[in-house]
């Protein structure tokens, strides 16, 4: 299945039904008064977080949603029936933004959470409401009100406590396989992982956290190289970043430089994301002789001027991997505790997340505009391949951001 984490949809709530003009007509009652009922209310549109949904792919196919209008009022003072509501299911972790104003309407982060995104119109009034001492046979009624119409942007971000970060082939997927039941594909070529994978790391009963394996980053990713940086937004909700680096890369590159490349890309994507606690994981240590490991690690740490936590691991043999997770669990629990006890800390954390989401949204939008311009330029020069028109590219809107090559 395609993993889609963005979609733009149109929602139109139903209009209210019109009020009715009608008069009582009964045998032996020649001038029956007004009895036109009110129109029913229009159907509203809601979004609800569904734990069984994993992607927004359905919203790539169907993009317009309309709720029923209310029925018109009827004689004998009967109100029209209300239009049925529409409930759209989205994955847990979906943010709903008004595409035209940029306003965040809501964040559906809990299973079952519901958000009204388009209110149905009120029904019009029947002529029964317009009766007065001076006008006993009003011919007036009001039409139903329009329902809300909106363009919505749906953004899915995975909910994870810890995000794995690193160059392609650093061993991220192997690592998550070692510590959780997640089984993303592992291979010795870059960009094996194309979509985020989540794994639950169980420390013991009732103590666990969620880890996200995201596609590898390369130099220039913030300008769109490789798979770009768009999936970095999935790190926006994580609390810790594990920065994996291959200590003995077969291409002979320098692990220190490799760490710096990622740090640079992270910063270009979002300065706030770059301030999240990032732990250095010197991975593939099985490639280094045991007696040489500490020295190698110390050298890397020194050259980087690294002052945060550092670990030596091998995702392949599993060595050291769970130790990282125990420390992560403690740190996450400590952070949760602080936020529970100190409202000010919780507020600051919340603010930081909002800032982060804002930065990532702007950055992705910027990149999208650049890509669209580049695509247009290629098109004008007649350089686009036939296939450029589908898949990654949207007919009307230029390129879409999706996880597929």
Ligand X SMILES: Nc1nc2c(ncn2[C@@H]2O[C@H](COP(=O)(O)OP(=O)(O)OP(=O)(O)O)[C@@H](O)[C@H]2O)c(=O)[nH]1
Instruction: Point out which residues bind Mg ion (CB under 5 A).
Output: 173, 192-193
**Partner interacting with residue 48 (select from ligand X, Mg ion, none; CB below 5-8 Å by kind):** none
Q: How is residue 141 written in tokens? A: 């009624």
| Residue among 172, 23, 145 nearest 82 (CA) | 145
Strand-pair partners of 98: 152
250 binds ligand X (CB under 6 A): no
Q: Provide the minimum distance between the beta carbon of 192 and Mg ion in the complex, in angstroms, as a whole number.
A: 5
* Kind and range of the H or E run holding 64: strand 64-66
Residues in Cβ contact with 228 at an 8 Å cutoff, skipping those fewer than 6 apart: 221, 222, 367
Q: Which of 95, 169, 197, 258 binds ligand X (CB under 6 A)?
A: 169
What are the E-state strand segments in 71-140? 86-91, 94-98, 104-108, 114-118
Distance separating alpha carbons of residues 386 and 404, to the nearest angstrom: 17
180 binds ligand X (CB under 6 A): no
Residues in Cβ contact with 110 at an 8 Å cutoff, skipping those fewer than 6 apart: 49, 92
| Residue among 100, 228, 91, 189 nearest 152 (CA) | 100
Q: Provide the minimum distance between the beta carbon of 173 and Mg ion in the complex, in angstroms, as a whole number.
A: 3
216 binds ligand X (CB under 6 A): yes
Q: Provide the minimum distance between the beta carbon of 257 and Mg ion in the complex, in angstroms, as a whole number.
A: 21
Pick 173 or 238: Cβ nearer Mg ion:
173
| Residue among 145, 8, 124, 147 nearest 66 (CA) | 147
Please choose, out of 118-126, 184-192, 299-307, 343-351, the segment that lies near ligand X by the rule CB under 6 A: 184-192
Binding to ligand X (CB under 6 A) within 302-321 occurs at 314-316
| Locus of tokens 């959780």 | 180
DSSP state of 151: E
Q: Which of 22, 95, 141, 193 binds ligand X (CB under 6 A)?
A: 193
Pick 90 or 217: Cβ nearer Mg ion:
217
287 binds ligand X (CB under 6 A): yes
DSSP state of 287: G
**Partner interacting with residue 174 (select from ligand X, Mg ion, none; CB below 5-8 Å by kind):** ligand X
255 binds ligand X (CB under 6 A): no
Pick 187 or 348: Cβ nearer Mg ion:
187
**Partner interacting with residue 243 (select from ligand X, Mg ion, none; CB below 5-8 Å by kind):** none
Contacting residues toward ligand X, per CB under 6 A: 166, 168-174, 186-188, 190-193, 215-216, 283-284, 286-287, 314-316
């Amino acid at each position: 299945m395609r993993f889609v984490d963005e979609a733009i949809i149109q929602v139109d709530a139903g209009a209210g039904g019109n009020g009715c003009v009608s008069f009582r007509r009964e045998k032996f009652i020649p001038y029956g008064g007004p009895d036109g009922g009110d129109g029913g209310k229009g159907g509203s549109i809601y979004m609800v977080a569904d734990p069984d949904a994993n992607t927004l792919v359905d919203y790539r196919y169907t993009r317009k949603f309309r709720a029923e209008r209310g029925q018109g009022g009827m004689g004998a003072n009967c109100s029209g029936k209300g239009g049925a509501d529409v409930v759209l299911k989205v994955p847990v972790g979906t943010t709903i933004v008004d595409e035209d104003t940029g306003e965040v309407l809501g964040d559906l982060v809990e299973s079952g959470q519901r958000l009204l995104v388009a209110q149905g119109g009120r029904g019009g009034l029947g002529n029964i409401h317009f009766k007065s001492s001076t006008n006993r046979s009003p011919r007036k009624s009001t039409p139903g009100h329009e329902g809300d119409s909106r363009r919505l942007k749906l953004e899915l971000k995975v909910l994870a406590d810890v995000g794995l970060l690193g160059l392609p082939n650093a061993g991220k997927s192997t690592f998550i396989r070692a510590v959780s039941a997640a089984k993303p594909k592992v291979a010795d070529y870059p960009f094996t992982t194309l979509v985020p994978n989540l794994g639950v790391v169980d420390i013991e009963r009732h103590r666990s956290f969620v880890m996200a394996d995201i596609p590898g980053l390369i130099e220039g990713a913030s300008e769109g190289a490789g798979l770009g940086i768009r999936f970095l937004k999935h790190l926006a909700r994580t609390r810790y970043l594990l920065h994996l680096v291959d200590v003995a890369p077969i291409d002979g590159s320098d692990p220190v430089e490799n760490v710096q490349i990622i740090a640079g890309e992270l910063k270009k994507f979002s300065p706030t994301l770059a301030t999240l606690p990032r732990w250095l994981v010197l991975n593939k240590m099985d490639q280094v002789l045991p007696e040489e490991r500490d020295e190698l690690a110390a050298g890397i740490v020194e050259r980087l001027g690294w002052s945060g936590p550092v670990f030596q691991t091998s995702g392949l043999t599993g060595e050291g991997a769970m130790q990282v997770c125990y420390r992560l669990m403690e740190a996450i629990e400590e952070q949760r505790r602080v936020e529970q006890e100190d409202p000010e800390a919780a507020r600051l954390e919340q603010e930081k997340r909002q800032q982060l989401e804002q930065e990532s949204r702007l950055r992705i939008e910027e990149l999208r505009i650049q890509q669209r311009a580049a695509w247009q330029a290629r098109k004008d020069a007649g350089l686009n391949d036939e296939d450029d028109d589908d898949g990654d590219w949207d007919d009307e809107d230029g390129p879409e951001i999706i996880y597929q090559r």
